Protein backbone atom coordinates (compact mmCIF):
# COMPACT_ATOMS: atom_id res chain seq x y z
CA UNK A 1 0.00 0.00 0.00
CA UNK A 2 2.78 2.43 1.01
CA UNK A 3 4.76 1.71 -2.15
CA UNK A 4 1.68 2.19 -4.35
CA UNK A 5 1.07 5.52 -2.63
CA UNK A 6 4.73 6.45 -3.22
CA UNK A 7 4.38 5.57 -6.91
CA UNK A 8 1.31 7.78 -7.16
CA UNK A 9 3.35 10.70 -5.79
CA UNK A 10 5.70 10.68 -8.78
CA UNK A 11 5.17 13.75 -10.97
CA UNK A 12 2.85 13.06 -13.94
CA UNK A 13 5.65 14.02 -16.36
CA UNK A 14 7.95 11.32 -14.91
CA UNK A 15 5.14 8.75 -14.91
CA UNK A 16 4.54 9.46 -18.61
CA UNK A 17 8.23 8.82 -19.42
CA UNK A 18 8.14 5.56 -17.41
CA UNK A 19 4.93 4.41 -19.13
CA UNK A 20 6.30 5.28 -22.55
CA UNK A 21 9.39 3.15 -21.82
CA UNK A 22 7.10 0.17 -21.14
CA UNK A 23 4.95 0.86 -24.24
CA UNK A 24 2.14 2.15 -22.02
CA UNK A 25 1.74 -1.24 -20.33
CA UNK A 26 0.68 -0.18 -16.83
CA UNK A 27 0.90 -3.70 -15.37
CA UNK A 28 4.46 -4.21 -16.59
CA UNK A 29 5.53 -0.86 -15.13
CA UNK A 30 3.91 -1.63 -11.75
CA UNK A 31 5.60 -5.02 -11.65
CA UNK A 32 9.01 -3.44 -12.23
CA UNK A 33 8.29 -0.56 -9.88
CA UNK A 34 7.57 -2.87 -6.96
CA UNK A 35 10.28 -5.45 -7.55
CA UNK A 36 12.62 -3.43 -5.35
CA UNK A 37 15.29 -2.03 -7.68
CA UNK A 38 14.06 1.52 -8.26
CA UNK A 39 17.48 2.98 -9.10
CA UNK A 40 17.88 0.49 -11.94
CA UNK A 41 14.37 1.26 -13.21
CA UNK A 42 14.93 5.04 -13.25
CA UNK A 43 18.35 4.65 -14.90
CA UNK A 44 16.85 2.39 -17.58
CA UNK A 45 14.14 4.98 -18.28
CA UNK A 46 16.69 7.85 -18.30
CA UNK A 47 15.09 9.86 -15.51
CA UNK A 48 16.38 10.94 -12.10
CA UNK A 49 14.67 9.37 -9.10
CA UNK A 50 12.12 12.03 -8.04
CA UNK A 51 12.93 11.46 -4.36
CA UNK A 52 16.52 12.62 -5.03
CA UNK A 53 15.59 15.60 -7.16
CA UNK A 54 15.40 18.32 -4.54
CA UNK A 55 18.92 17.50 -3.31
CA UNK A 56 20.30 17.63 -6.87
CA UNK A 57 18.67 20.98 -7.45
CA UNK A 58 20.10 22.47 -4.24
CA UNK A 59 23.59 21.26 -5.13
CA UNK A 60 23.42 22.98 -8.52
CA UNK A 61 22.20 26.37 -7.39
CA UNK A 62 24.99 28.89 -7.79
CA UNK A 63 25.13 32.45 -6.54
CA UNK A 64 23.48 34.68 -9.12
CA UNK A 65 25.64 37.73 -8.45
CA UNK A 66 27.52 37.65 -11.75
CA UNK A 67 26.84 36.68 -15.36
CA UNK A 68 28.13 33.32 -16.53
CA UNK A 69 28.76 31.82 -19.98
CA UNK A 70 26.35 29.31 -21.52
CA UNK A 71 28.21 26.08 -22.32
CA UNK A 72 26.60 25.89 -25.79
CA UNK A 73 26.80 29.42 -27.25
CA UNK A 74 29.42 30.82 -24.79
CA UNK A 75 27.51 34.08 -24.39
CA UNK A 76 27.25 35.56 -20.88
CA UNK A 77 23.86 35.74 -19.20
CA UNK A 78 22.59 36.27 -15.65
CA UNK A 79 21.91 33.08 -13.68
CA UNK A 80 18.14 33.61 -13.97
CA UNK A 81 18.38 33.13 -17.77
CA UNK A 82 19.68 29.57 -17.32
CA UNK A 83 17.59 26.47 -16.90
CA UNK A 84 18.12 22.73 -16.94
CA UNK A 85 16.91 19.30 -15.92
CA UNK A 86 17.41 17.45 -12.65
CA UNK A 87 20.81 16.22 -13.89
CA UNK A 88 22.11 19.71 -13.12
CA UNK A 89 23.32 20.74 -16.60
CA UNK A 90 22.15 24.30 -17.27
CA UNK A 91 22.04 26.22 -20.53
CA UNK A 92 20.59 29.56 -21.64
CA UNK A 93 16.92 29.74 -22.62
CA UNK A 94 17.77 30.63 -26.24
CA UNK A 95 19.96 27.54 -26.74
CA UNK A 96 17.35 25.33 -25.08
CA UNK A 97 14.63 26.67 -27.37
CA UNK A 98 16.72 26.17 -30.54
CA UNK A 99 17.83 22.69 -29.43
CA UNK A 100 14.28 21.53 -28.69
CA UNK A 101 12.87 23.07 -31.89
CA UNK A 102 15.48 21.25 -34.01
CA UNK A 103 14.83 17.92 -32.27
CA UNK A 104 11.05 18.25 -32.72
CA UNK A 105 10.71 19.83 -36.16
CA UNK A 106 13.71 18.36 -38.01
CA UNK A 107 14.33 15.05 -36.26
CA UNK A 108 10.73 14.25 -35.30
CA UNK A 109 11.66 13.43 -31.71
CA UNK A 110 9.18 13.68 -28.85
CA UNK A 111 9.45 11.44 -25.81
CA UNK A 112 13.15 10.64 -26.42
CA UNK A 113 14.82 14.08 -26.40
CA UNK A 114 17.72 14.00 -23.95
CA UNK A 115 19.62 16.75 -22.11
CA UNK A 116 21.88 18.67 -24.54
CA UNK A 117 24.96 18.12 -22.32
CA UNK A 118 27.54 15.83 -23.92
CA UNK A 119 27.08 12.24 -22.75
CA UNK A 120 23.99 12.98 -20.61
CA UNK A 121 21.04 10.67 -21.33
CA UNK A 122 18.45 12.17 -18.96
CA UNK A 123 15.21 12.75 -20.89
CA UNK A 124 13.49 16.12 -21.21
CA UNK A 125 10.00 15.95 -19.68
CA UNK A 126 6.98 17.47 -21.42
CA UNK A 127 6.52 20.26 -18.83
CA UNK A 128 10.04 21.52 -19.57
CA UNK A 129 9.46 21.42 -23.34
CA UNK A 130 6.13 23.28 -23.11
CA UNK A 131 7.73 25.89 -20.83
CA UNK A 132 10.73 26.55 -23.09
CA UNK A 133 9.04 26.49 -26.51
CA UNK A 134 7.02 29.56 -27.46
CA UNK A 135 6.15 28.74 -31.10
CA UNK A 136 2.64 27.23 -31.15
CA UNK A 137 3.41 25.19 -34.29
CA UNK A 138 6.35 23.50 -32.56
CA UNK A 139 4.23 22.87 -29.45
CA UNK A 140 1.48 21.25 -31.52
CA UNK A 141 3.98 19.01 -33.33
CA UNK A 142 5.54 18.00 -29.98
CA UNK A 143 2.16 17.16 -28.43
CA UNK A 144 1.37 15.08 -31.51
CA UNK A 145 4.69 13.22 -31.22
CA UNK A 146 4.36 12.34 -27.53
CA UNK A 147 0.70 11.39 -27.95
CA UNK A 148 1.71 9.23 -30.90
CA UNK A 149 3.65 6.78 -28.72
CA UNK A 150 0.45 6.19 -26.71
CA UNK A 151 -1.76 5.86 -29.82
CA UNK A 152 0.67 3.47 -31.55
CA UNK A 153 0.67 1.16 -28.52
CA UNK A 154 -3.12 1.11 -28.14
CA UNK A 155 -4.99 -1.26 -30.47
CA UNK A 156 -8.24 0.64 -29.98
CA UNK A 157 -6.88 3.99 -31.17
CA UNK A 158 -5.92 5.24 -34.63
CA UNK A 159 -4.89 8.64 -36.00
CA UNK A 160 -7.20 10.11 -38.62
CA UNK A 161 -5.33 9.93 -41.98
CA UNK A 162 -6.75 13.25 -43.26
CA UNK A 163 -3.99 15.82 -43.89
CA UNK A 164 -3.64 18.39 -41.06
CA UNK A 165 -6.15 16.53 -38.85
CA UNK A 166 -4.84 15.83 -35.34
CA UNK A 167 -7.79 13.77 -34.10
CA UNK A 168 -7.63 10.19 -32.84
CA UNK A 169 -10.49 7.75 -33.44
CA UNK A 170 -11.34 5.24 -30.70
CA UNK A 171 -13.25 1.97 -31.24
CA UNK A 172 -14.69 -0.73 -28.96
CA UNK A 173 -12.71 -3.51 -30.65
CA UNK A 174 -10.07 -3.40 -33.42
CA UNK A 175 -11.36 -4.60 -36.77
CA UNK A 176 -11.49 -3.77 -40.48
CA UNK A 177 -14.54 -1.54 -40.43
CA UNK A 178 -15.47 1.96 -41.58
CA UNK A 179 -15.04 4.72 -38.99
CA UNK A 180 -15.67 8.44 -39.28
CA UNK A 181 -13.52 11.14 -37.70
CA UNK A 182 -14.89 14.40 -36.27
CA UNK A 183 -13.38 16.16 -39.30
CA UNK A 184 -15.69 14.12 -41.58
CA UNK A 185 -13.06 11.76 -43.05
CA UNK A 186 -14.22 8.14 -43.32
CA UNK A 187 -11.57 5.41 -43.38
CA UNK A 188 -10.89 1.75 -42.64
CA UNK A 189 -9.86 1.43 -38.98
CA UNK A 190 -7.58 -1.52 -39.68
CA UNK A 191 -5.38 -0.13 -42.48
CA UNK A 192 -6.13 3.62 -42.47
CA UNK A 193 -7.04 3.71 -46.18
CA UNK A 194 -10.39 4.88 -47.58
CA UNK A 195 -13.12 2.32 -46.81
CA UNK A 196 -12.72 -0.49 -49.36
CA UNK A 197 -15.45 -3.09 -48.78
CA UNK A 198 -15.55 -5.86 -50.05
CA UNK A 199 -11.76 -5.95 -50.69
CA UNK A 200 -9.62 -7.20 -47.79
CA UNK A 201 -6.93 -4.85 -46.40
CA UNK A 202 -4.05 -7.10 -47.51
CA UNK A 203 -5.27 -7.13 -51.13
CA UNK A 204 -5.75 -3.37 -51.13
CA UNK A 205 -2.20 -2.97 -49.81
CA UNK A 206 -0.87 -5.16 -52.63
CA UNK A 207 -2.85 -3.18 -55.20
CA UNK A 208 -1.52 0.16 -53.87
CA UNK A 209 2.05 -1.21 -53.98
CA UNK A 210 1.53 -2.37 -57.57
CA UNK A 211 0.26 1.07 -58.60
CA UNK A 212 3.24 2.73 -56.86
CA UNK A 213 5.66 0.34 -58.59
CA UNK A 214 3.99 1.03 -61.93
CA UNK A 215 4.32 4.78 -61.43
CA UNK A 216 8.00 4.33 -60.49
CA UNK A 217 8.48 2.40 -63.74
CA UNK A 218 6.73 5.22 -65.62
CA UNK A 219 9.05 7.77 -63.98
CA UNK A 220 12.11 5.75 -65.03
CA UNK A 221 10.83 5.40 -68.60
CA UNK A 222 10.14 9.14 -68.78
CA UNK A 223 13.64 9.98 -67.48
CA UNK A 224 15.64 7.44 -69.51
CA UNK A 225 13.84 6.87 -72.81
CA UNK A 226 12.38 8.83 -75.71
CA UNK A 227 10.05 7.96 -78.57
CA UNK A 228 11.13 7.79 -82.18
CA UNK A 229 9.71 11.02 -83.68
CA UNK A 230 8.49 9.07 -86.73
CA UNK A 231 7.00 5.75 -85.55
CA UNK A 232 6.80 6.51 -81.76
CA UNK A 233 8.46 3.27 -80.62
CA UNK A 234 10.23 3.73 -77.22
CA UNK A 235 14.03 3.96 -77.45
CA UNK A 236 16.63 3.78 -74.66
CA UNK A 237 20.03 5.38 -75.31
CA UNK A 238 22.92 3.31 -73.95
CA UNK A 239 25.86 5.67 -74.40
CA UNK A 240 27.47 6.77 -77.67
CA UNK A 241 26.76 9.83 -79.78
CA UNK A 242 23.49 11.65 -80.43
CA UNK A 243 22.93 10.08 -83.87
CA UNK A 244 20.05 7.63 -83.43
CA UNK A 245 18.76 5.04 -85.89
CA UNK A 246 15.35 3.61 -85.07
CA UNK A 247 15.52 -0.18 -84.79
CA UNK A 248 11.95 -0.66 -85.95
CA UNK A 249 12.50 -2.50 -89.26
CA UNK A 250 9.58 -0.65 -90.88
CA UNK A 251 10.90 2.77 -89.84
CA UNK A 252 14.71 3.09 -89.48
CA UNK A 253 14.38 6.86 -89.06
CA UNK A 254 17.62 8.72 -88.31
CA UNK A 255 17.24 11.48 -85.75
CA UNK A 256 19.06 13.46 -83.04
CA UNK A 257 18.64 12.20 -79.46
CA UNK A 258 18.83 15.75 -78.05
CA UNK A 259 16.38 17.71 -80.20
CA UNK A 260 14.47 14.75 -81.74
CA UNK A 261 14.81 16.45 -85.13
CA UNK A 262 15.93 14.67 -88.37
CA UNK A 263 19.64 13.84 -88.31
CA UNK A 264 20.51 15.13 -91.81
CA UNK A 265 20.95 18.84 -90.94
CA UNK A 266 23.29 17.93 -88.03
CA UNK A 267 26.12 16.88 -90.35
CA UNK A 268 29.09 15.74 -88.27
CA UNK A 269 27.95 17.20 -84.92
CA UNK A 270 27.94 13.74 -83.33
CA UNK A 271 28.18 14.83 -79.69
CA UNK A 272 26.80 18.38 -79.65
CA UNK A 273 23.43 19.19 -81.15
CA UNK A 274 23.73 22.33 -83.29
CA UNK A 275 19.97 22.74 -83.50
CA UNK A 276 19.10 22.26 -79.82
CA UNK A 277 16.56 24.64 -78.40
CA UNK A 278 15.56 23.76 -74.86
CA UNK A 279 11.98 24.99 -75.18
CA UNK A 280 11.38 23.19 -78.50
CA UNK A 281 12.93 19.97 -77.16
CA UNK A 282 10.76 20.14 -74.04
CA UNK A 283 7.66 20.69 -76.17
CA UNK A 284 8.61 17.66 -78.30
CA UNK A 285 9.15 15.51 -75.17
CA UNK A 286 5.88 16.65 -73.59
CA UNK A 287 4.02 15.89 -76.80
CA UNK A 288 5.15 12.26 -76.45
Question: Considering 120, 241, 256, 259, which one is annotated as catalytic?
Answer: 241
Q: Is 158 helix (H, G, I), strand (E, B) or coil?
A: strand
Q: Is 142 helix (H, G, I), strand (E, B) or coil?
A: helix
Q: Which residues pair with 243 in a beta bridge?
A: 256
Instruction: State the burial class of residue 49 (Cβ atoms within 10 Å of its Cβ: 0-12, 13-18, 19+).
Output: middle
Q: Is 178 helix (H, G, I), strand (E, B) or coil?
A: strand
Distance in angstroms between the alpha carbons of the first and the last residue of the chain: 78
- Alpha-carbon dihedral 113, 114, 116, 117, rounded to 10 degrees: -170
* Contact by Cβ (8 Å): 50, 14: yes
Residues with Cβ < 8 Å from 20, sequence gap 6 or more? 111, 146, 149, 150
**241 is annotated as an active-site residue:** yes
Q: Give, in order, the Cα–Cα distances in Å from 144 to each of 112, 133, 148, 188, 248.
A: 14, 15, 6, 21, 58
Helix axes 136-153, 12-21, angle to 10 degrees: 50
Question: Which residues are catalytic, by number?
Answer: 241
Amino acid sequence: GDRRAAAAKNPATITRILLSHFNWDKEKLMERYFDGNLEKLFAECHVINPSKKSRTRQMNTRSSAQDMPCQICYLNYPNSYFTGLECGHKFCMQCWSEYLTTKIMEEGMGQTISCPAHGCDILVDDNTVMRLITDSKVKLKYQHLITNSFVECNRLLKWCPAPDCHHVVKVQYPDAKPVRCKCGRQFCFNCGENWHDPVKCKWLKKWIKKCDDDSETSNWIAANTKECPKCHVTIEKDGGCNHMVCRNQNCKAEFCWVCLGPWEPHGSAWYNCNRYNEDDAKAARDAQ
